[in-house]
Structure 1
Amino acid sequence: MRTQVGIIGAGPAGLLLSHLLHLRGIESVVLERRSREYVERRVRAGVLEQGTVDTLVEAGVGERMQREGLPHHGIELRYGGAGHRIAFERLVPGRCITVYGQQEVVKDLIAARLAAGGDVRFEVNDVAVHDAATDRPYLTFTEADGTEGRLDCDVIAGCDGFHGVSRPSIPEGVLTEYRRDYPFAWLGILAKVKPSSEELIYARTERGFALHSMRSPEISRFYLQVAPDEDLAAWPDERIWAELRARLETVPGFTLATGDIVERGITPMRGFVAEPMQYGRLFLAGDAAHIVPPTGAKGLNLAVADVRVLTEALARLFADGSTEALDGYSRACLPRVWRAQHFSWWMTTLLHTFESDDAYARRLQTSYLDYVTSSEAAGTTLAENYVGLPYQEETS
């Protein structure tokens, strides 16, 4: 086979890239290790920045999101027995977030690609990158039926996540990897229960952090700060709900609704960036290039930002043969990546408890929370980063 862009990974980054390229008349083939059912049911992020929403709408894949997504115009910071609302409509007028599950974005993108005759191949194994340093790279793989395949292309996009094959395909010594592992994890659950709040609640308590989120008017999403090596089996439903109540029912009049837990898991907390995000004709996007702790809700949104830049650069390449924008891809993406890294680190350290903290450190946290919730300038900084900074002309 031959195509213009070979894409590894059918997550939001790979699928959106394929769709945006299609709109520019550029061919691509997407290779995905998992089944279609698996990627459409994989629960991940659910908070979409304003720029992500705008991108999906402009690409013609936002109709269901606009109909079923939940726009939020603020979040609550809950600590010290009180709730404090960060009001987006006042601090960043005209910008908000939309709660719409990543798996729903994936479903919409797969439907759009298949409806347009796109080549998306699931259950593809043994994908390997070859000759990435040349202008004739190619991929080898094994189809679901065992047939061995080869895909020749002009460019390879590695959109296969943190544990994928793309980044390890880059020779040792080329990348500089920056990493921070946090001394806790998140225990996340999905429950069949109406949300107890109309907006997300970020709760800081002496027992640890908790987050009340949602996926729909009938489905709620919750997270608890736990030990990094926590055993999920040690958390039966009763213990999860008891701990959520202890961390969230800290303000007068708030009662947490409970229901059937339909999914649970433990997510490690880490920050990671690989620089540069490219090698020859291999370009990394999304989690293949960077990871953020989920506190700032930036992972999916950073993937969309990467793909926007990469699409413009590829459009220039195939329009007139210019490689200038492609050569500057990593340089264009990294400022936003590091801004998101800092914001995610800041939110994480502001709201979580650390075993190493003493009374002095805890008082510093409270002092800064008081500042954020009382200062117009500090609140605006949180709000504009949370809803997402406007896109710049990164490829210029």
Structure 2
Amino acid sequence: MTTTRTQVAIVGAGPSGLLLGQLLHKAGIDAVIVERVSGEYVLGRIRAGILEQVCIDLMDEAGVGARMHKEGLVHDGFEMLFGGQRHRVDLKKYSGGKHVMVYGQTELTHDLMDARAAAGLTTMYEARNAAVHDFDTAKPYVTCEKDGQQHRIDCDFIAGCDGFHGVCRASAPRSAIKEYEKVYPFGWLGLLSDTPPVNYELIYVNSPRGFALCSQRSNTRSRYYLQVPLTDKVEEWSDDAFWQELKLRLDDEAREKIVTGPSIEKSIAPLRSFVTEPMRFGRMFLAGDAAHIVPPTGAKGLNLAATDVKYLFDALVGFYQDKSEAGLDDYSSKALARIWRAERFSWWFTQLMHRFPHDEAITAKFQHAELDYLMHSEAGLTSIAENYVGLPLDFGARRA
């Protein structure tokens, strides 16, 4: 067995693990990242593409924001389609001048990978059977197997950035952990295509046939979603069937403008709300999908992970540079306060925009009435806008 010593062992080389690693590197704190799959596999995962300002700022702080600013699309609003009519939510107007940026998670991950490789930092891809040990002591460590050889990584702290199915949360003592979960009775069928977006800004659709979303990754690559039953199989959906169903859920203008084409990727994602409490177990800290999942309706998953990373990074800097454990002690409560607000918004937005099995006819009327109110109310538009762009990091403190 080979033994390595580092300050922070990061389990998981997705966006949260890579972003934390890059920020720590910039601050002079050593970190080793362990990932069970290959880098190519990580890059092959098609995920979110809407970045809040917190995430944008962290990419800049990590020194990897140049391509994002060059290729990302700044959006000052989005559209809501219901009752056959579109209504625009002006994010800039109703959130105090803020916006979001369209920049695919794959591209963001690529930027972080490239920066880590250029700096010669250690990332152990295809590290099998990772396990976390003694995180309830001052001498935690991680073990794994790579290329048939056993490895041990001694560290001061473990950052569990290994996703919903990762080993870190699973290793926390069951008596010390509380998990909250809501599984939704439908999924999102997503299609990625090299076609120009039907609209410059996103269109969220409440339709009698179910929810739809017209999104994008660039000016030449589109991402579309349909609400489908959980029993559907992606193999049952041809490209032609997808485009036909999408058109049935859109308004006349979008139907006329949409450009169809062969899919690059097509998949069905289940929807769930999930939160773990707490997010700290001794010297092991959970971040990102390891600690929480949101339905994608509110575009919060990647952004919440980035906020976790921000809080954890600040706490680790405080420990190493200021010899203070205050940030570490506050990490879980501070992160969870923001997480629950984002979970609430994502749950609410999902309830508002989707058709649920066994809904009575009156439910659609309630949805339409609420949407109509929201789109014609300054308070309603402000609430949507400030939640969509991301609440300020000090939101709770400002109201305490």
TM bucket by the smaller chain? Answer: over 0.9
User: Within 2, Cα distance between the matches of 1:50 and 1:69?
Assistant: 13
Partner of 1:224: 226
User: Which residue does 2:257 correspond to in 1?
Assistant: 255
Instruction: State the shift of 1:394 in Å.
Output: 8.7
Within-5 A mapping of 1:133-172: 133-143=136-146, 145-172=147-174
| Structure 1 Cα separation of the partners of residues 122 and 296 of structure 2 | 31
1:259 CA displacement: 0.9
Counterpart-to-counterpart distance in 2, 1:27 and 1:198:
42
Deviation at 1:58, TM superposition (A): 2.6
Secondary structure at the counterpart of residue 142 of structure 1: strand
How far is 1:320 from its partner?
4.1
Match of 1:31 in 2: 34
Asked if the contact 2:193–2:262 (Cα under 8 Å) also holds between the matched residues in 1, the reply is yes
**Which letter maps to 2:344?**
H
- Counterpart of 2:93? 90
Separation (CA, whole Å) in 1 of partners of 2:96 and 2:255: 30
The Cα shift of 1:250 comes to 4.5
Query: What are the equivalent positions in structure 2 for 1:3-14 lying under 5 Å apart?
Result: 3-14=6-17
Q: Which amino acid aligns with 1:6?
A: A
Provide the residue aligned with 1:275 in structure 2: 277
Matches within 5 A, 1:72-221: 72-143=75-146, 145-221=147-223
Deviation at 1:254, TM superposition (A): 4.4
Aligned length: 395
- Residues 288 and 305 in structure 2, CA contact (< 8 A), matched pair in contact too: yes
CA distance in 2, matches of 1:344, 1:69: 24
Among 40, 44, 62, the alignment partner of 1:41 is 44
Which among 366, 391, 397 is matched to residue 364 of structure 1? 366
- Matched letter for residue 319 of structure 1: Q
Partner of 1:208, secondary structure, is coil
Who is 2:302 aligned against?
300
Contact (CA 8 Å) 1:50, 1:97: kept in 2 or not? yes
Alignment deviations for residues 207-232 of structure 1 (CA, whole Å, 9 cap, x no partner)? 00000000011110011000012111
User: CA 1:80/1:360 → structure 2, altered by over 3 Å: closer, same or farther?
Assistant: same
Give the % identical residues.
51
Aligned partner of residue 244 in structure 2, secondary structure: helix
Cα distance, 1:391 vs. partner? 1.9
- What is the CA–CA distance in structure 2 between the aligned matches of 1:55 and 1:76, rounded to whole Å? 27
Q: Which amino acid in structure 2 is aligned with residue 79 of structure 1?
A: F
- Equivalents in 1 of 2:353, 2:257: separation in Å? 21
For structure 1, list consecutive stretches of 5 or more residues without a partner in the other structure.
Answer: none
- The Cα shift of 1:146 comes to 1.2
Which whole-Å CA distance do the structure 2 matches of 1:357 and 1:393 have between them?
A: 35
Asked if 1 retains the 8 angstrom alpha-carbon contact of 2:186 and 2:227, the reply is yes
How far did 1:362 drift?
1.3
Contact 1:3/1:151 (CA < 8 Å) preserved in 2? yes
1:298-320: CA deviation from partner (whole Å, max 9, x where unpaired): 00000000000001111111124
Q: Which amino acid letter does the alignment assign opposite residue 235 of structure 2?
A: A
Rounded Cα–Cα distance in structure 2 between residues aligned with 1:261 and 1:280: 46
- Contact between 1:249 and 1:255, CA under 8 Å: does it hold in 2? no
Residue 28 of structure 1: CA displacement?
0.2
Task: Give the aligned residue type for 2:307.
Answer: A
Tell me the alpha carbon deviations over residues 284-311 of structure 1, each in whole angstroms, 9 at most, x when there is no partner: 0000000000000000000000000001
Instruction: Please give the root-mean-square deviation of Cα atoms over the aligned residues, in Å.
Output: 1.6
Residue 71 (structure 1) aligns with: 74
User: Distance between the aligned counterparts of 1:81 and 1:272, measured in 2?
Assistant: 33
Q: Could you report, residue by residue, the CA deviation over 1:52-89 in whole angstroms, capped at 9, with x for unpaired residues? A: 11221232111000000111111000010100000112
